[in-house]
Structure 1
């Protein structure tokens, strides 16, 4: 039987592994959207995620297949925010931004979640936690701007892609931040009514249905860009790398990691769980440099160090969890 300290350590470990997996999703997503249209890529991701979660529900909580009528709206909202909206911004954004830079933008997530949880859920933030949030935000600014915050105002060298000012890709990925914040707060609210496994299964299933509907209008919604890519019904034309990315995104990047993240929210709170998302850009940049050859600016190391420091401060074990 696990002690309370062991359970807490396991929660922190799974949240860290979740960040590593999500760091890899930026690489997989970047590769996938070069070949597959965004809505189709997202639909396939969550089709396999729903299948994987369905097997888990069948083995552990078969009663979760029967969703009470009063939870239908909750499931739809979880699917809308955490699956449909997030993956729209994620997949379309990765057509305009490098995987490493995209993963850096999500460093804003813990700051937005912390403030939103403080405002809407009345989750307390003590002085040290606010300090951690500020430090993490400073690290995020340094990483995004490569050490020059003036780039947020549009001052950049056109010859240096890594020094580019904040543009369309970054704004689309910021949509991920807003969608994920809404999903995180909803997970916190449903924690007492649905188990993490049930929450994740129904979020994946409802979001997958929305994405399937969107693929029907993909060419009209996304224009010429979608017409030059493969769609989910052309999956027999997919390359091996595309299939590998789809399975990674669906099974590891969605089914497993979403479950761990939901468990983390329900055990240690929305603010603390979301703070681990600060690790995602660090892993994303490192993996992007290693696997895609994306340039890794020196400022990323210092900014990444500030991000990690902010996470550690925000998640001090001795801080009382409300």
Structure 2
């Protein structure tokens, strides 16, 4: 039992992550692929939610459902690790507010103004911020190939944000939904970096604490939505959407992502966010019948080229 608990814990602040073995890397790749598929579906769900459930209601209720699922499972660990949670509550609260509440709220609002294909491709820019942030915060070296991958990825995000128009790119004339999604991506990049030195406790307990805080920090946003008469409570289809985002992007994907970061570090794990555009675009075309234009194909080629270059140039 002690050994099992030890495997569930991660190094504290300032601890160095050991270089993963080949088997650990393979496991991380699978977990991060599941994460990307779930998050690609989250963008599609955000578009489906338009007219079915309002953005802040969706954000608040998804975290409420996650807490309801996790609380019985993680209750004992939450009690035993309460001193750690209390000692680091400000850090945990900030991570939850930025990575969970802010990211999802911004994305669901953005879904009212842009396509699911755009939402997912723009998320491909997150690894760029993560790699630069890892260099600044942790001193993680960026190899020349990783730098090239960053540039290629940024080019792909720029192409989709400008909708393939050089004039729009030069004039910085972007869809407001695309801009909101870019801001959301910055928020999640900050959360990804913070995961590397999160407080040492079982993953499930940590995630449950964060989900509870995400619910609490989403309540003021829901209150504003109610006060301004913009709230839309879910009907039958809205509840199905809510069930999906609660189970997959919120629960399964987040746990897979945290474990992936533990196994291979935030810089390399963040690169797999580039798979979100691939899965998201396929799902958007298949489920929403969204058009897939030439500039989308060009952007996907660029972000996939970025992840290939960066992974080939990963440091030891």
Whether TM-score is above 0.5 comes out as yes
- Other-structure match for 1:239: 235
Residue 144 of structure 1: CA displacement? 3.1
Residue matched to 1:297: 293
Whole-angstrom CA distance in 1 between matches of 2:254 and 2:272: 13
Residue matched to 2:179: 171
1:266 correspondence with 2:262: yes
Contact 2:78 2:205 in 1 (8 A): no
The question of whether the paired residues in 2 share the 8 Å contact of 1:139 and 1:303 is answered with yes
Alignment of 1:1-322 (within 5 A): 4-58=21-75, 61=77, 66-68=82-84, 69-154=86-171, 165-190=173-198, 193-220=200-227, 223=228, 226=230, 229-231=231-233, 238-316=234-312, 319-321=314-316
Following superposition, the deviation at residue 10 of structure 1 comes to 1.1
**Alpha-carbon offset, residue 188 of structure 1:** 1.4
Cα offset for 1:57? 2.5
Distance 2:81 2:65 in 1: 17
Structure 1 gap segments, 5+ residues each: 156-164, 232-237
1:96 CA drift (Å): 1.6
Point out the more displaced range, 30-39 or 80-89.
Answer: 30-39
Runs of at least 5 residues in structure 2 that lack an aligned partner in the other structure: 1-19
Q: Is the 8 A contact 1:112 1:181 kept in 2?
A: yes
In the TM superposition, what is the alpha-carbon distance from 1:67 to its structure 2 partner?
A: 5.0
1-structure distance, mates of 2:158, 2:274 = 12
User: Residues 224-274 of structure 1, C-alpha deviation per residue, up to 9 Å, x if partnerless?
Assistant: 5x1xx423xxxxxx3332111101101111111011111111221111111
Question: Aligned pair in 2 of structure 1 residues 276, 204: CA closer, same or farther (>3 Å)?
Answer: same
Aligned to 2:8: none
Q: Do the aligned residues in 2 keep the contact of 1:33 with 1:41 (CA within 8 Å)?
A: no
- Contact 1:30–1:99 under 8 Å retained in 2: yes
**After alignment, is 49-58 or 32-41 more displaced?**
49-58
Please give the TM-score of this superposition, normalised by the length of structure 1: 0.84
Contact 1:50 1:255 in 2 (8 A): no
Aligned 8 A contact 2:124 2:157 in 1: yes
In 1, Cα distance between the equivalents of 2:127 and 2:103?
16
Q: Is the 8 A contact 1:52 1:255 kept in 2?
A: no
Distance in 1 (CA, whole Å) between partners of 2:120 and 2:203 is: 25
SS of 1:315 mapped into structure 2: helix
Deviations 1:263-296 (A, max 9, x none): 1112211111111111112221221111111110
Residue 302 of structure 1 deviates from its aligned partner by 3.0
2: distance between equivalents of 1:149 and 1:277?
26
Query: 1:132–1:243: structure 2 CA closer, same or farther, 3 Å change rule?
Result: same
Aligned partner of 2:14 in structure 1 is none
Q: How far off is 1:62 after superposition?
A: 5.7
